[in-house]
């Protein structure tokens, strides 16, 4: 598996609506010797790619099957309802589930909000994916509730969206296999969490400490010289030279 110190590359899967471009640019600045490869994947397949070791990590949506995976939630998206531009809902800045009670609301099979049934009336058949659901809304067949990034991803000139309150929201998370957190995964965790290059967190190469300089012993204080026979100096007894004998 890739992702260790000696690896030649780092592979990251990401689901529709997630834009990892900023993190990839930072990676290229900090780890230029290890290319980062992106793999676009449907939301339902992202967890399996990470769990099976086919990628080093994945940017996926929660809720998801996290068995055997680590996951760090990164941010929560606003939920919106996609409607035709001339729909009455566009008169408000945001709406609630009660405002959709009489509307057909499409529920695609690749829904990422994790609910059993959206508000409103169910369509006769569930669309295979979000892209087909958007086409149905454009054709005047119901509305669609999705995370805001998916509404932007499937933007059409004849459609718009409004914030939908009091409903589930999609959380985007970074996920990788539980069995091992490699050095390169640690590097990417630091990037998505906004750590600076000099951050002390994560696995970083450490500069060995320099040994402290040994202190020089203090110079011993020399004792003051004792009085003695210095040249021309006084002898003990206070006289100079030999004392004269009396005749």
How far, in whole angstroms, is CA 2 from its chain's centroid?
Answer: 19
Stated pTM of the model: 0.75
CA distance 120 to 102: 6
Model confidence over 109-134: pLDDT tens digits? 999 998 888 999 999 999 999 999 99
CA distance 139 to 73: 36
Q: Where does the pLDDT of residue 214 fall: very low under 50, low under 70, confident under 90, or very high at 90 and above?
A: low
Q: How many domains does the chain have?
A: 2
Report, in this order, helix, strand and coil percent for the chain, each rounded to 5.
Answer: 20, 20, 55
- φ and ψ of 211, to 5 deg: -65, 140
Q: What is the CATH number of the domain that holds 102?
A: 3.40.190.10
Q: 94 and 70, same structural domain?
A: no
| pLDDT above 70 (res 236) | no
Structural domain boundaries enclosing 18: 10-76+171-192
Domain presence at residue 227? no
Q: 88 and 67, same structural domain?
A: no
CA distance 87 to 105: 14
The rounded percent of the chain whose pLDDT value lies above 90 is 70
Lowest mean pLDDT among 26-30, 175-179, 198-202, 208-212: 208-212
Q: 205: closest CA among 33, 21, 22?
A: 33
Domain presence at residue 200? no
Overall average pLDDT of the 168-193 stretch: 94
Strand, coil or helix: 43: helix
| pLDDT above 60 (res 241) | no
Strand, coil or helix: 163: strand
Which string of b and e fits 208-222 if b means at least 16 CB within 10 Å? eeeeeeeeeeeeeee
pLDDT at 204: 43
**What average pLDDT does the structure give for the chain?**
85
| pLDDT above 80 (res 88) | yes
pLDDT at 196: 77
Q: 36 and 149, same structural domain?
A: no
Q: 154 and 93, same structural domain?
A: yes
Model confidence over 12-54: pLDDT tens digits? 999 999 999 999 999 999 999 999 999 999 999 999 999 999 9
Enter the tokens of residue 245: 């004998």
pLDDT at 213: 52
pLDDT at 10: 97
Lowest mean pLDDT among 67-76, 88-97, 110-119: 110-119
Crossing angle of helices 183-192 and 21-30, in 10° steps, is 130
pLDDT at 242: 52
Q: 29 and 142, same structural domain?
A: no
């Amino acid at each position: 598996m890739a992702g260790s110190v000696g690896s030649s590359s780092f592979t990251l899967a990401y689901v529709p609506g997630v834009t990892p471009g900023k993190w990839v640019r930072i990676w290229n600045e900090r780890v230029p010797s290890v290319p980062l490869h992106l793999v676009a994947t449907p939301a339902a397949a992202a967890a399996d790619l990470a769990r099976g070791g086919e990628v080093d990590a994945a940017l996926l949506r929660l809720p998801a099957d996290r068995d055997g995976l680590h996951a760090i939630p990164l941010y929560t998206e606003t939920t919106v309802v996609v409607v035709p531009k001339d729909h009455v809902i566009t008169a408000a800045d945001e709406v609630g589930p009660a405002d959709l009670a009489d509307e057909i609301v499409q529920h695609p099979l690749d829904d990422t909000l994790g609910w059993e049934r959206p508000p409103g009336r169910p369509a006769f058949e569930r669309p295979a994916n979000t892209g087909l659901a958007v086409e149905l809304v454009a054709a005047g067949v119901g509305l669609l509730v999705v995370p805001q990034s998916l509404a932007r991803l499937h933007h059409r000139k004849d459609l718009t969206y409004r914030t939908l309150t009091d409903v589930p929201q999609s959380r985007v998370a970074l996920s990788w296999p539980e069995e091992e957190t490699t050095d390169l995964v640690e590097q990417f965790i630091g990037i998505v969490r906004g750590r600076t290059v000099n951050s002390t967190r994560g696995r970083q190469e450490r500069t060995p400490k320099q040994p402290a300089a040994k202190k020089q012993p203090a110079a011993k204080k020399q004792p003051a010289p004792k009085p003695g026979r210095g040249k021309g100096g006084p002898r003990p007894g206070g006289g100079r030279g030999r004392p004269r004998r009396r005749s």
